[in-house]
């Protein structure tokens, strides 16, 4: 068995650590839940942004997948993924790039919620000589983009796509509200709201004589809580691949499901203040303070030893660019452990998407603990 | 004159835009202020992380410079910078890398505030056959690392370095408090606190028969406000190179000094809510909400047209990973402008260090407006 502590010692800190066994457990949990209902899971790669993760996350490695940037789509298409939805509203300027990715053999679909976008997709489809597929985005809870599920513009948009040179692929929604509520029952309510909105909109399109092959819903909280998938063809989710303190705070996972952490080194102390100072500041953790308004504020993260075991009541209370300040939680009476200069620690993050984005690679602790650490590249940018 | 709008149109969004003329004005302003007092300016590259910026920021391009990571030190040393302070507390694990950078001809100094660190630097200096220079960090206002300026440990540490194989280079402090107060007079008070702490500590070392050639103070707010530099040998500052809404909020710059912005594209609307949705979410802007507790909360940033002119009362009120939601400020009665699908906008960020770190390059609008856009690479990571 390799000496994991010695392998960590060879890493420059701060460094991003991924626990493959926890990740595989998270992947299996949602695949089993959605699969047991006979529905397709379309994982979102916006969190992982990694071909190595995609290989483990996607059915036979080829899809279906969701992405948040065309850079993700390009990297995944190049790695053999063949079925992708780019789930951010499309702009006319991006359509030539979409067509290039499609031309390389990947069925990349776009998202839109206005006649102007539909016309741009039709125009590009004509000009570029291929029917670009588009899904219509629905707003099921007022959080972001999308049409109300009973908006007559749905049919207008559907006709523009279907009657023009493009392809009407279906409808898609995302329950942003599911991040604001806690517990399985509340998330199941959000899931039902997603489902109802999507099914209603699909019906309106079909009633108008339009096709709607894809009915896509999902978020990490709703995907885990959903029971009734009638009329839904696929479920999307992303951050569950790694999980994080925010998801633990709303009850979607436990702390020990969190597969992502930041390895850091103790660089100093302010003993009379009870502070331990490390080299993982907000540049490493990201500025995401998603738990700030949850029942338990986790600061910039929960402090663990180098093996990933949480240290009693220690959190990163504040951060500068390259300094993390560790202290006991407010109200804690736990003893401050001796953590001398040079000690390696691991910090569990508020938000896996934001923290992972601060790094260009994962240092992966393999499921097979007798194997050495692996390095998986991340892609970034747009 | 090149058509800047057409050049922006060719960029994938979101994209980072740097206005060279504003940057050069910011650089000149502080260089003039510090230079007029006969003191040395040691700019911090933690914000820019760019060789092209360093060439314009550093005296004859070779230094002196400050960095926040050894990756910055390596990149700058490779580009010919010869005098660098790594201004984050050193760990034993990093000293071999420090020595490699020094071995390539760059006078890289480290920072520390404990006897344990000093012993590690002495041990490494012996082992690696070169005297590694170290500055002792002082805590002038309780914000982070460092010894109190009258702490007897200063002399203990100074002796370990000076009597051992290392080199005692001097003392260094940073007024974190200057970010918490607003206005030139308050910043001048913080500057005097920095100066007094550094001069007191230098005197204590000298009284003990120890050398203290470098007396280093600084932050962007204090560097601009300082009047009395007696006993100080150098001033450090970083974010002023670009400035941002946070610095404007505490009165160190005006909005139109901000040289950094994010180019984005309108991807949709929620008209009844008064929302304009763009493709610059928090992945582009960063999660930094530094103005949240200032007198004017700028949301995720001030919205400008493609030429960089602020649009009346529009800010990014909230952000998802790849969605920015623009609306009027709370209380505004300004008309919402027509910003159709595909419109390019520029967003001024809360915090230049955090926003710039989300990108791998600057798209630079040259001072000479007849020249085309330039691309400058950024480095990142540790």
Contacts of A13 in chain B (CB under 8 A): 91, 93, 382
Question: Is residue B360 less than 8 Å (CB to CB) from chain A?
Answer: yes
Nearest to A89 among B14, B277, B353 (CB): B277
Contacts of B381 in chain A (CB under 8 A): 359-360
Nearest to A88 among B68, B69, B279 (CB): B279
Mean pLDDT of the A179-188 span = 97
In contact, A365 and A4? CB cutoff 8 Å: yes
Nearest to B267 among A89, A359, A360 (CB): A89
Rounded Cα gap, residues B54 and B51, in angstroms: 5
Residue B150 neighbours by CB distance under 10 Å: 11
Query: Residues 42..81 of B with a Cβ closer than 8 Å to A: which?
Result: 46, 68-70
Query: Residues 186..205 of B with a Cβ closer than 8 Å to A: which?
Result: none
- Among B73, B89, B120, pick the best mutation site for testing chain A contact (most A Cβ within 10 A): B89
> Are B265 and A93 in contact (CB < 8 Å)?
yes
In contact, B240 and B224? CB cutoff 8 Å: yes
Q: How many CB pairs under 8 A join A and B?
A: 154
- Among B17, B271, B341, B379, pick the best mutation site for testing chain A contact (most A Cβ within 10 A): B341
Q: Which residue has the tokens 């580009």?
A: B79
Q: How far is CA B24 from CA B21, B244, B257, B259, B353, in A?
A: 5, 15, 10, 9, 17
Contacts of B342 in chain A (CB under 8 A): 91-93, 120
> Are A268 and B117 in contact (CB < 8 Å)?
yes
The shortest C-alpha distance from A46 to chain B (Å) reads 9
The shortest C-alpha distance from B266 to chain A (Å) reads 8
What element of type H or E holds B346? strand B344-348
Q: How far is CA B284 from CA B164, B259, B262, B323, B335, in A?
A: 47, 16, 7, 9, 27
> Are B13 and A287 in contact (CB < 8 Å)?
no
> Are A322 and B139 in contact (CB < 8 Å)?
no
Q: Which residue has the tokens 């609008």?
A: B365
pLDDT (tens digit per residue) in B148-195: 999 999 999 999 999 999 999 999 999 999 999 999 999 999 999 999
> Are B289 and A287 in contact (CB < 8 Å)?
yes
Question: Is residue A115 less than 8 Å (CB to CB) from chain B?
Answer: no
Q: What is chain B's percent helix, strand, coil content, to nearest 5? A: 35, 25, 40
Q: Which residue has the tokens 């983009």?
A: A145
Q: What does residue B324 show for φ and ψ, rounded to 5 degrees?
A: -110, 135
Total residues belonging to chain A: 382
In contact, A136 and A109? CB cutoff 8 Å: no
Instruction: Kindly identify which residue of chain A lies nearest to residue B179, measuring between CA atoms.
Output: A320
Nearest to B88 among A267, A270, A288 (CB): A267
Q: In the prediction, which pLDDT does A2 show?
A: 59
What element of type H or E holds A344? strand A344-348
Instruction: Kindly identify which residue of chain B lies nearest to residue A89, measuring between CA atoms.
Output: B267
Scanning chain B, the segments in alpha helix (DSSP H) are 4-9, 20-35, 51-57, 70-78, 95-103, 115-128, 153-163, 184-207, 220-225, 245-249, 282-285, 352-356
> Are B145 and A270 in contact (CB < 8 Å)?
yes
pLDDT (tens digit per residue) in B196-217: 999 999 999 999 999 999 999 9
For the cut 60, the answer to whether the pLDDT of residue A322 exceeds it is: yes
Rounded Cα gap, residues A91 and A382, in angstroms: 14
In contact, A259 and A26? CB cutoff 8 Å: yes
Q: How far is CA A286 from CA A234, A246, B115, B167, in A?
A: 31, 14, 31, 35
Q: For chain B, which residues score pLDDT lower than 50?
A: 1
- Among A86, A268, A325, pick the best mutation site for testing chain B contact (most B Cβ within 10 A): A268
Rounded Cα gap, residues A93 and B33, in angstroms: 45
Angle in degrees, 0-180, between the axes of helices B70-78 and B95-103, rounded to the nearest 10: 10
- Among A70, A97, A144, pick the best mutation site for testing chain B contact (most B Cβ within 10 A): A144
Name residues whose C-beta falls within 8 Å of residue A66's C-beta, 6 or more positions apart in sequence: A42, A43, A44, A45, A46, A84, A85, A87, A236, A238
Query: Residues 135..164 of B with a Cβ closer than 8 Å to A: which?
Result: 139, 142, 144-145
Rounded Cα gap, residues A211 and B248, in angstroms: 53
pLDDT (tens digit per residue) in A5-42: 788 989 999 999 999 999 999 999 999 999 999 999 99
Question: Is residue A279 less than 8 Å (CB to CB) from chain B?
Answer: yes
Q: How far is CA B248 from CA B144, B221, B297, B352, in A?
A: 23, 10, 12, 12
Q: How far is CA A335 from CA A214, A215, A316, A338, in A?
A: 55, 53, 16, 9
Name residues whose C-beta falls within 8 Å of residue B182's C-beta, 6 or more positions apart in sequence: B249, B250, B251, B295
Residue B29 neighbours by CB distance under 10 Å: 14
Total residues belonging to chain B: 382
Selection from A287, A248, A257, A236 nearest residue A45 by Cα: A236
The shortest C-alpha distance from A234 to chain B (Å) reads 22
Query: Residues 213..272 of A with a Cβ closer than 8 Å to B: which?
Result: 265-270
Rounded Cα gap, residues B255 and B247, in angstroms: 9
Query: Residues 285..344 of B with a Cβ closer than 8 Å to A: which?
Result: 286-289, 320-323, 325, 340-342
Residue B149 neighbours by CB distance under 10 Å: 22
Q: How far is CA B165 from CA A250, B123, B130, B206, B361, in A?
A: 54, 7, 8, 19, 41
Q: Is B189 exposed, middle or buried (0-12, 13-18, 19+ CB in 10 A)?
A: middle
> Are A283 and B357 in contact (CB < 8 Å)?
yes
For A219, the token pair is: 């978020």
Q: In the prediction, which pLDDT does B2 show?
A: 59
Contacts of A301 in chain B (CB under 8 A): none
> Are A322 and B360 in contact (CB < 8 Å)?
no
Residue A80 neighbours by CB distance under 10 Å: 16
- Specify the 3-state DSSP secondary structure of A110: strand
What element of type H or E holds A56? helix A51-57
Could you give all domains of chain A from N- to C-terminal order, each with its CATH number? 4-15+259-377 (2.40.37.20), 37-241 (3.20.20.10)
Instruction: Kindly identify which residue of chain A lies nearest to residue B71, measuring between CA atoms.
Output: A12
Instruction: State how beta strands B324-328 and B234-237 pair.
Output: unpaired
Nearest to B283 among A277, A320, A357 (CB): A357
- Among B44, B86, B279, B349, pick the best mutation site for testing chain A contact (most A Cβ within 10 A): B279
Contacts of A270 in chain B (CB under 8 A): 139, 145
- Specify the 3-state DSSP secondary structure of B35: helix
Q: How would residue A335 be classed by pLDDT, with cut points 50, 70 and 90?
A: confident
In contact, B182 and B213? CB cutoff 8 Å: no
The shortest C-alpha distance from B287 to chain A (Å) reads 5
Question: Is residue A100 less than 8 Å (CB to CB) from chain B?
Answer: no
The shortest C-alpha distance from B36 to chain A (Å) reads 30
Contacts of A139 in chain B (CB under 8 A): 270
Q: In the prediction, which pLDDT does B4 show?
A: 76
Instruction: State how beta strands A374-377 and B15-19 pair.
Output: unpaired
> Are A91 and B265 in contact (CB < 8 Å)?
yes
Helix and strand tally (H, E) in chain A? 12, 17
Rounded Cα gap, residues B105 and B248, in angstroms: 38
For the cut 80, the answer to whether the pLDDT of residue A136 exceeds it is: yes
> Are A267 and B91 in contact (CB < 8 Å)?
yes
pTM across the whole model: 0.97
Rounded Cα gap, residues A75 and A58, in angstroms: 14
In contact, B20 and B364? CB cutoff 8 Å: yes
Mean pLDDT of the A363-371 span = 93
> Are A145 and B93 in contact (CB < 8 Å)?
no
Q: In the prediction, which pLDDT does A226 show?
A: 97
In contact, A302 and A348? CB cutoff 8 Å: yes
What element of type H or E holds A154? helix A153-163
- Among B287, B318, B324, B340, pick the best mutation site for testing chain A contact (most A Cβ within 10 A): B287
Q: Which residue has the tokens 């997948």?
A: A65
> Are B68 and A322 in contact (CB < 8 Å)?
yes
Rounded Cα gap, residues A144 and B144, in angstroms: 39
Name residues whose C-beta falls within 8 Å of residue A113's C-beta, 6 or more positions apart in sequence: A89, A136, A137, A138, A139, A145, A146, A147, A157, B268
pLDDT (tens digit per residue) in A246-279: 999 999 999 999 999 999 999 999 999 999 999 9
Rounded Cα gap, residues A37 and B206, in angstroms: 76
The partner residues of A262 in beta bridges, in order of sequence, read A16, A347
- Residue A180's region, left for phi above 0, alpha for psi from -120 to 50, else beta, is alpha
Average pLDDT, whole number, for chain A?
96
In contact, B380 and B49? CB cutoff 8 Å: yes
Name residues whose C-beta falls within 8 Å of residue B260's C-beta, 6 or more positions apart in sequence: B16, B17, B18, B19, B242, B243, B244, B348, B349, B352, B355, B356
Q: In the prediction, which pLDDT does A312 show?
A: 86
What element of type H or E holds A73? helix A70-78
Instruction: Kindly identify which residue of chain B lies nearest to residue A90, measuring between CA atoms.
Output: B267
């Amino acid at each position: 068995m390799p000496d994991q502590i010695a392998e960590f010692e060879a890493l420059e800190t701060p460094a991003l650590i991924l626990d493959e066994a926890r990740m595989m457990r998270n992947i299996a949990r949602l695949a089993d839940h959605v699969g047991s209902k006979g529905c397709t899971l379309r994982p979102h790669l916006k969190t992982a942004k990694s071909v190595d993760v995609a290989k483990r996350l996607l059915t036979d490695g080829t899809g279906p997948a969701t992405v948040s940037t065309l850079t993700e789509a390009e990297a995944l298409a190049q790695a053999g993924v063949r079925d992708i939805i780019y789930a951010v509203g499309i702009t006319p300027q991006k359509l030539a790039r979409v067509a290039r990715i499609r031309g390389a053999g990947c069925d990349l679909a776009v998202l839109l919620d206005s006649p102007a976008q539909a016309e741009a997709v039709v125009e590009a489809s004509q000009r570029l000589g291929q029917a670009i597929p588009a899904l219509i985005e629905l707003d099921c809870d007022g959080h972001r983009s999308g049409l109300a599920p009973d908006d007559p513009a749905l049919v207008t948009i559907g006709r523009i796509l279907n009657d023009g040179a493009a392809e009407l692929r279906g409808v898609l929604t995302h329950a942003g509200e599911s991040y604001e509520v806690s517990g399985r029952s509340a998330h199941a309510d959000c899931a039902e709201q997603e489902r109802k909105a999507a099914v209603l909109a699909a019906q309106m399109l079909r009633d108008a004589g339009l096709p709607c092959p894809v009915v896509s819903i999902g978020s990490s909280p709703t995907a885990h809580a959903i029971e009734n998938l009638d009329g839904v063809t696929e479920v999307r989710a992303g951050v569950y691949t790694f999980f994080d303190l925010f998801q633990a705070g709303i009850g979607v996972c436990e702390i020990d499901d969190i597969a992502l952490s930041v390895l850091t080194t103790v660089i100093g102390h302010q003993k009379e203040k009870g502070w331990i100072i490390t080299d993982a500041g907000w540049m490493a953790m990201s500025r995401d303070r998603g738990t700030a308004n949850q029942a338990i504020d986790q600061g910039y993260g929960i402090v663990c030893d180098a093996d990933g075991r949480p240290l009693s009541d220690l959190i990163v209370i504040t951060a500068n660019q390259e300094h993390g300040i560790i202290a006991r939680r407010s109200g804690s009476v736990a003893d401050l452990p001796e953590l001398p200069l040079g000690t390696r620690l691991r910090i569990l993050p508020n938000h896996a998407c934001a923290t992972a984005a601060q790094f260009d690679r994962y240092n992966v602790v393999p499921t097979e603990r007798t194997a050495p650490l692996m390095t998986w590249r991340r892609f970034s940018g747009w």
